Structure 1
Amino acid sequence: MFDNRYFIGLCVGMMFTTSTVFAAKATPQAVVEHYTDMIHAVYDDALTTAKILDEKIAAYLKAPSEKTLNEAKLAWKAARVPYQQSETFRFGNKVIDDWEGSLNSWPLDEGLIDYVDTSHYQFEQGNVGANANIIATQSITIGTETIDTSKITPELLMSLNEIGGSEANVATGYHAIEFLLWGQDLHGTDKGAGERPFTDYIQTDEACTNGKAKAGTKLTCQRRAAYLTALSQLLVSQLTDMTAQWAKDGAARKALLSADPTTGLRTMLFGMGSLSLGELAGERMKVALIANSTEDEHDCFSDNTHNSHFYNGLGIQNVYFGTYKTTTGKTLTGASLADLVAAKDAKLDKEMSTKFKETQAKLQALVDSAEKKGIAFDQLIAADNPQGNALVKAAIDGLVAQTHSLEKVAEALGIKDLNPDTADHTF
């Protein structure tokens, strides 16, 4: 079993080391080739940890208990470690960005999937699927369309993503699994994560909680187990497909390597800048902070948000330095952007390295707050927590400053007008 705290320790120890071994022989083509190696390695780890998660979910559903539920939760957290480091690949690579939505979309209106405590439930205004409760029903009606949900399969769940035109109707992916393991977090900005009881998965009418059998229908706990199983199987299948795309003979790898190396460098830098600025600093941190909104917290059911943000940040700098520490402890290294920049402008390379160091230290402060002080991200963004707000704001500022330096790096490498995605945020 992988423990996400173990990975934090590993990453802190290696994250500020620049790559100089390959500087003498680094070329743009070599850098892009190594980038594709890194993509494959990260997705391969994401797949490996998803398979472990699938095994732990199967064991939990076979024998529901506090122990097996906690083991499944730990496996989910471990699976997030490599996946979050992959998100820097998204924005420049269309094949990934088109695929990613069914794996990591958030926030989700969880009433689409299962029961909710309506006194604590906020959902997207006008979302006709927000209270559909697929698990408790044999069919759902969205607008004028009635959908047969009597048999829960991966294919059905994929077809329900964004049903009714609402992005909040997230039926699949890591966060749907997270919700079915943890349940709603009813604590708001107070201490505590979701507390779904393991009895929600006991397969007898007497012991099943939050859903009893109705005449002519399956026990709701059985349908809940079927939903979680389908989610887990789908996650493994999707990661299998993306890992294959970046294997030595993979279509996505071949397509990127067949393009001009400058296109590859732009892809790398645009992905890094867009995750750093619009997505992480903006969508995942600024929105939640300004609104003091736990609904906009990334891992809102598990209170694992601090780790997700940390590993997003680590994934960005991995690409710059050309390094990735695998889940087995091996460090993948190769020709890097840092090598190219150091050869052209050593001062700029030092500036970039310093910005990464400063940003990761600020993201680490969020981890330390949660892991050492018991004050998680949802508590830090509370309206009455100015010190917590300042910690989050410092991380946002670090990501913004880091992005400005990435734009300088692009210019130094002959890439004009990088224009990383801001997601319509101003900083």
Structure 2
Amino acid sequence: MQKRTLALAIALTVGMTGCKTMQSSELTGTPEEQVVQNYANIAHATFDDAYLTAVDLQKSVNQFIASPSAEGLEQLKAKWKVAREPYQQSEVFRFGNAVVDDWEGQLNAWPLDEGLIDYVDGGYYQHELGNPGAELNIISSKQVKLGSETLDLTSITADKLASLNELGGSEANVATGYHAIEFLLWGQDLNGTNTGAGERPYTDFVQGAGCTGGNCDRRAQYLKAATNLLVADLEWMRDQWSAGKSGNYRAELLADAPEQGLRKMLYGMGSLSLGELAGERIKVALEANSTEDEHDCFSDNTHYSHYFNAKGIQNVYLGQYKRVDGSMVNGISLSDLVKAKDASLDKMTRQQLANTDSSLQKIVDLAEGPQQIKFDMMIAAGNQQGEAMLNNTIESLVKQTRYIEQVATTLNVDALNPDTADHEF
């Protein structure tokens, strides 16, 4: 029998499964070219959702600042959590795409020395040693002297915060992004590995009489400026992935050889899976029993951030993304390419992605269930249940990465070398 072409094999496979809505009007060229185009579509949709949810957060910030209340602060926290979901799924595009990696530090850098931003507990000692910005307290200081330089902080604006991010060259001086906003909404989590997140009172934003924490007007300015910057940054990145724009990153990606696009996809999946999520975000905190290395350490939302990171990896392999409005973006995928060449490998890869999803879902269920055992409690010394669950997730992510490497070999992407972030697994 004559050997099927790759394009025909994929077409037959997709047709038989009936599980994909092919975007034939948008995807053109060879199967590999279509996979990269679909990848760009998914990236655009993910960043668009991150932008739209940030705009919703921005509206709520403005409403809250105008009339602070306990209920309003809780609603604002809920909006922040919603905004995290699409953003965390976007992180798979960071590795392999320099345009994202060079940009993300202004949005998602962590852990941060919160004393740079606002007041902290009197026993605060866990900041980075030797960091001159760790106790600057931008909100209480209209002028700050750092070495021979005097910084004018009379007004707190988005541009000013951007200039202060990583002040003095320290990565711990995080002045912008989701985690700066998170700290402003929750305040420090002083519970260690016990139950409870940050408990900032809404009165920290009350203007005039009733203000707690001092400088409530400047704290409101900071929150508004940080949120405005977040929205502007996300709008810029969304536009980088928009179709029909000449000179943006999407146009550059699609003009390159499709093999390079496949490499970026697989490197992004492997690096987020191995070095970043298994290593930096789980292994480091678990081995050191360190709540300071927890990703969403003020809100105790870390379980969801980890879950949606892994969901982003799965999205890229399956070539699909569920938008916040419930609609689907999908098309020809890496899974389709692999299935046409090695159906067994595709099945095992999809199963391992599902195993990772399941292991992280168990962590979410434990955190959100009756016991409310959050990530910072799971990493406590002696918490055997938490340690076992997190080690199981690390193991699943490592196995997942090995399958991603096999996928790369099958698709003739050589020397993938996903980033380990200097961790050994």
Q: TM-score, normalised by structure 2?
A: 0.93
- 2:108 and 2:178 in contact (8 A); partners too: yes
What residue number does 1:159 align with? Answer: 163
- 2:21 and 2:330 in contact (8 A); partners too: no
Residues 1:256 and 2:256 aligned together: no
Report SS of the residue matched to 1:396.
helix
- 1:64 and 1:201 in contact (8 A); partners too: yes
CA deviation string 1:56-109 (max 9, x = no partner): 111111111111001100000000010000000001111111000000000000
What residue number does 1:143 align with? Answer: 147
Aligned with residue 31 of structure 1, among 30, 35, 43: 35
Please give the residue correspondences for 1:176-191 in structure 2 after superposition, counting only pairs within 5 Å. Answer: 176-191=180-195
What residue number does 1:105 align with? Answer: 109
- 1:54 and 1:233 in contact (8 A); partners too: yes
Residues 1:409 and 2:407 aligned together: yes
In structure 2, what residue type is equivalent to 1:239? L
Residues 1:223 and 2:218 aligned together: yes
Report SS of the residue matched to 2:145.
strand
CA apart distance, 1:120: 4.0
Gap change, CA 1:141 and 1:148, over 3 Å in 2: same
Gap change, CA 1:73 and 1:21, over 3 Å in 2: closer
What residue number does 2:73 align with? Answer: 69
Report SS of the residue matched to 1:299.
coil
- 2:112 and 2:172 in contact (8 A); partners too: yes
CA apart distance, 1:331: 1.2
In structure 2, what residue type is equivalent to 1:277? L
What residue number does 1:216 align with? Answer: none
Report SS of the residue matched to 1:279.
helix
Aligned with residue 371 of structure 1, among 368, 373, 398: 368
In structure 2, what residue type is equivalent to 1:155? D
In structure 1, what residue type is equivalent to 2:137? N
In structure 1, what residue type is equivalent to 2:389? L
* Rounded Cα–Cα distance in structure 1 between residues aligned with 2:188 and 2:289: 18
- 1:338 and 1:349 in contact (8 A); partners too: yes
- 2:20 and 2:331 in contact (8 A); partners too: no
Residues 1:238 and 2:233 aligned together: yes
* Rounded Cα–Cα distance in structure 1 between residues aligned with 2:221 and 2:265: 39
- Indicate the larger mover: 179-188 or 112-121: 112-121
Please give the residue correspondences for 1:1-400 in structure 2 after superposition, counting only pairs within 5 Å. Answer: 27-204=31-208, 206-211=209-214, 220-250=215-245, 251-372=248-369, 373-400=371-398
CA apart distance, 1:384: 2.0
In structure 2, what residue type is equivalent to 1:188? G
In structure 2, what residue type is equivalent to 1:92? G
- 1:359 and 1:398 in contact (8 A); partners too: yes
CA apart distance, 1:19: 5.6
* Rounded Cα–Cα distance in structure 2 between residues aligned with 1:142 and 1:404: 47
CA apart distance, 1:142: 1.9
Unaligned runs of 5+ in 2: 1-16
* Rounded Cα–Cα distance in structure 2 between residues aligned with 1:259 and 1:366: 40
In structure 1, what residue type is equivalent to 2:31? T
CA apart distance, 1:121: 4.0
Report SS of the residue matched to 2:104.
helix
- 1:26 and 1:335 in contact (8 A); partners too: no
CA deviation string 1:235-289 (max 9, x = no partner): 1111111111111134110000000000000000000101000110000000000
* Rounded Cα–Cα distance in structure 1 between residues aligned with 2:18 and 2:188: 42
Count of matched residue positions in the alignment of Structure 1 and Structure 2: 402
CA apart distance, 1:22: 5.8
In structure 2, what residue type is equivalent to 1:381? I
- Indicate the larger mover: 38-47 or 19-28: 19-28
In structure 1, what residue type is equivalent to 2:264? T
- Indicate the larger mover: 113-122 or 290-299: 113-122
* Rounded Cα–Cα distance in structure 1 between residues aligned with 2:392 and 2:342: 28
- 1:18 and 1:321 in contact (8 A); partners too: no
In structure 1, what residue type is equivalent to 2:98? K
Report SS of the residue matched to 1:56.
helix
CA apart distance, 1:26: 6.9
Percent identity for Structure 1 against Structure 2: 56
Gap change, CA 1:418 and 1:226, over 3 Å in 2: same
- 2:55 and 2:231 in contact (8 A); partners too: yes
Report SS of the residue matched to 1:147.
strand
- 2:111 and 2:292 in contact (8 A); partners too: yes
Report SS of the residue matched to 2:367.
helix
Unaligned runs of 5+ in 1: 1-16, 212-219
Report SS of the residue matched to 1:99.
coil
Please give the residue correspondences for 1:410-425 in structure 2 after superposition, counting only pairs within 5 Å. Answer: 410-425=408-423
- 1:282 and 1:423 in contact (8 A); partners too: yes
State the Cα RMSD in Å.
Answer: 1.6
- 1:120 and 1:186 in contact (8 A); partners too: no
